[in-house]
Structure 1
């Protein structure tokens, strides 16, 4: 098997928000092939364009190679959609999405497909490292058998497996991948050390070697589940304090003067991690006969916040005698978080759809979102710029930095309202 002396030839499967930055980081020290089944994505990356905005054009072009580096052992990255281009790798890192379906059940089809692909090209002694978020046990119980079946090789004899859960914060230019400490693990002690040393060679923040793959898997799902539960708590506080006529932000500021008060804020909980990972842990627990109470209660509350926000916007409008039917609303932001183009599992759509159910006309403006992707996924058209039109309601849904300079007064009619989902505007008519 591989050890610290073996030259590493790395294939990264899946070049999204997680895979591309990771592949580029490894490419500074190792020969890397970045593989994705999306041929348009591959063509764009070869031209220096990353639609996620996570890797700048100059960095992409500086690292990109015109042919596979595996035979020259030259550091850099070759982008490919051809499975044959990764056959000579000896380390395979899988970074594909693991979403939930419409019933909030784990959808691991992409992960299983990536495992099949690796099974077709893997050789004796190779290491496969999973980064995708899964429930405890998924790597060894669900993915490894696929590799064994397709390759005909034996686990922990002919090939070895590691798990190092992704820690990417989309849109964050300060806490980039190499600056976030990484959990590592392996299918046996030697593999664990090999995986840990590999990541340690590029992650300047260091690594934490977990004792087993299952521990590493469980650590990943509770990271985001913990945040989900805490945000659900402050969302519930916001609902209660709104009924009492108390400003939630002022309450949190006062409570925050205690040294051990946790600084969570109310808001929409979407995206590909916090709003998804709890379902993976819950499903696994249910297989053992335990129905999680707090975990799923937090999910239900957070999933309902879009509908709640929409009702509060309408209530504010009614108080100002604004005719609801046909009223025009400007929704500022559509991505799941600020300064990021990721629209996966965005909860802004819940506000938009509920406002439309009330009979309002909603216009969406987001300078970060891929407008074609928004229309494809959600059937919503985004404006590419702000015009001089005035609206009956302005909703700050996402705190993009570009919105800090907006002159809200120029966009208001005489009786317009401003609703601040993010709690940033002191002059808003309503906020969480």
Structure 2
């Protein structure tokens, strides 16, 4: 393997490029020229890779020019695979990347996909595009593999090398080659799946399982709220049993958990099966933002707070704590619902990129906290929020609602 090209340098592609760049000639490609320029200067806005790690990856170069990856022998595609407004898979980035790589393919090249897809997508959607644009024959002139990404944004403990990697290939020989390739950088080891479809399916059920477990505790939270008991106290008590799973209620967003189940249900429905449990979990989780907003409104009303033109502070807009990733953040559901009630919303998030938030959600992040708020919602548990003195921002009528069970119970009005 003479040269590896990583297509897409986001949360998944960049760590991959850095690790391969330590041992193999590697080119990181992205269509975003600004992103390439920043990386060349040692800056990663995702905060997944620091400047020293970029320097240590001595065999890694960055480019937005396809001519620089034309001589690669292995292409690894890590572009986003989102959903559209109807919750159907949006394969546009994947299709465009496949068209681009198809035009560059040479005999015996290997194309490996890491993007989340439904079972069968690589061979049914991507391979025909590669064949059409290359003029080459699949499994004769070129080959494919699939190795699902398992990147956990913001997690400094579980990083790419320390997370076991599932691999697969379009033939037995290629499966071995793909597995051997990843073994060079994955210290935790690899698991070679029996087929590409099995590897694709493994990825979507990993996050579908987590989605369902969170949906279960979200439903418990709504039930226990009516009972009048604290959900987290119940979970703590139940957690004393050795096989109880430690999931907590919350807003389910991001590029994986809130998206992947729809790839599985899309495939199921295309085969004539109507999935019930998976979609039930999705409905619960998709409605949690509205539930949180309405709960806050009730608490404010009970304390005699005005609703219309009230001043509400939302702490955090990223999809999870201690990372700048705002993709598919469900905090926006809380904000939109409160705005519909006529409240004035201020959003504070030192982790998020101000311009990206403005572009994606049409929200101007506030940079200073002052005055008295009618309500404060802790939506994301960033470490920086530990230093905020909420007493200076509230009075006796203010509501403090903790979505993440992050704050001391004695300092808040209620928590999810």
Using the TM superposition, give the Cα deviation of residue 76 of structure 1 relative to its aligned residue in structure 2, in angstroms. 1.5
Paired residue for 1:395?
377
Q: Is the contact made by 2:77 and 2:115 (CA closer than 8 Å) also made in structure 1? A: yes
Q: Is the contact made by 1:135 and 1:221 (CA closer than 8 Å) also made in structure 2? A: yes
Paired residue for 1:284?
267
Paired residue for 2:415?
431
Paired residue for 1:163?
146
Using the TM superposition, give the Cα deviation of residue 423 of structure 1 relative to its aligned residue in structure 2, in angstroms. 1.4
Using the TM superposition, give the Cα deviation of residue 25 of structure 1 relative to its aligned residue in structure 2, in angstroms. 0.8
Unaligned runs of 5+ in 2: none
Paired residue for 1:331?
314
Paired residue for 1:369?
352
Paired residue for 1:3?
none
Q: Is the contact made by 2:168 and 2:193 (CA closer than 8 Å) also made in structure 1? A: yes
Residue 121 of structure 1 aligns to a residue in which SS?
A: coil
Alignment partner of 1:9 is 2:3: yes
Alignment partner of 1:351 is 2:317: no
Using the TM superposition, give the Cα deviation of residue 406 of structure 1 relative to its aligned residue in structure 2, in angstroms. 1.7
Paired residue for 1:412?
394
Alignment partner of 1:97 is 2:80: yes
Q: Is the contact made by 1:168 and 1:176 (CA closer than 8 Å) also made in structure 2? A: yes
Alignment partner of 1:360 is 2:334: no
Q: Is the contact made by 1:333 and 1:398 (CA closer than 8 Å) also made in structure 2? A: yes
* Residue among 201, 208, 211 paired with 2:194: 211
Paired residue for 1:128?
111
Paired residue for 2:298?
315
1:57-76 matches, cutoff 5 A: 57-63=51-57, 76=59
Paired residue for 1:173?
156
TM-score by length of 2: 0.98
Paired residue for 1:45?
39
| Partners of 1:424 and 1:376 in 2: CA distance | 29
| Partners of 2:392 and 2:56 in 1: CA distance | 44
Alignment partner of 1:79 is 2:73: no
Using the TM superposition, give the Cα deviation of residue 243 of structure 1 relative to its aligned residue in structure 2, in angstroms. 0.8
Using the TM superposition, give the Cα deviation of residue 431 of structure 1 relative to its aligned residue in structure 2, in angstroms. 1.1
Paired residue for 1:69?
none
Using the TM superposition, give the Cα deviation of residue 325 of structure 1 relative to its aligned residue in structure 2, in angstroms. 1.2
Using the TM superposition, give the Cα deviation of residue 26 of structure 1 relative to its aligned residue in structure 2, in angstroms. 0.7
* Residue among 216, 220, 232 paired with 1:233: 216
Residue 396 of structure 2 aligns to a residue in which SS?
A: strand
Q: Is the contact made by 2:289 and 2:330 (CA closer than 8 Å) also made in structure 1? A: yes
* Residue among 279, 285, 293 paired with 1:296: 279
Q: Deviations over 1:11-51 (max 9, x none)?
A: 00000010001110110111100001111111111111111
Query: Structure 1 runs of 4+ off > 3 angstroms?
Result: none
Using the TM superposition, give the Cα deviation of residue 8 of structure 1 relative to its aligned residue in structure 2, in angstroms. 3.4
| Partners of 1:105 and 1:34 in 2: CA distance | 29
| Partners of 1:317 and 1:332 in 2: CA distance | 17
| Partners of 2:377 and 2:91 in 1: CA distance | 35
| Partners of 1:278 and 1:33 in 2: CA distance | 32
Q: Is the contact made by 2:22 and 2:56 (CA closer than 8 Å) also made in structure 1? A: no
Using the TM superposition, give the Cα deviation of residue 336 of structure 1 relative to its aligned residue in structure 2, in angstroms. 0.2
| Partners of 1:310 and 1:430 in 2: CA distance | 13
| Partners of 1:198 and 1:253 in 2: CA distance | 43
| Partners of 2:305 and 2:345 in 1: CA distance | 15
Using the TM superposition, give the Cα deviation of residue 388 of structure 1 relative to its aligned residue in structure 2, in angstroms. 3.0
| Partners of 1:60 and 1:185 in 2: CA distance | 28
Further displaced range: 387-396 or 172-181: 387-396
Residue 251 of structure 2 aligns to a residue in which SS?
A: coil
| Partners of 1:169 and 1:195 in 2: CA distance | 22
Alignment partner of 1:34 is 2:28: yes
Paired residue for 2:229?
246
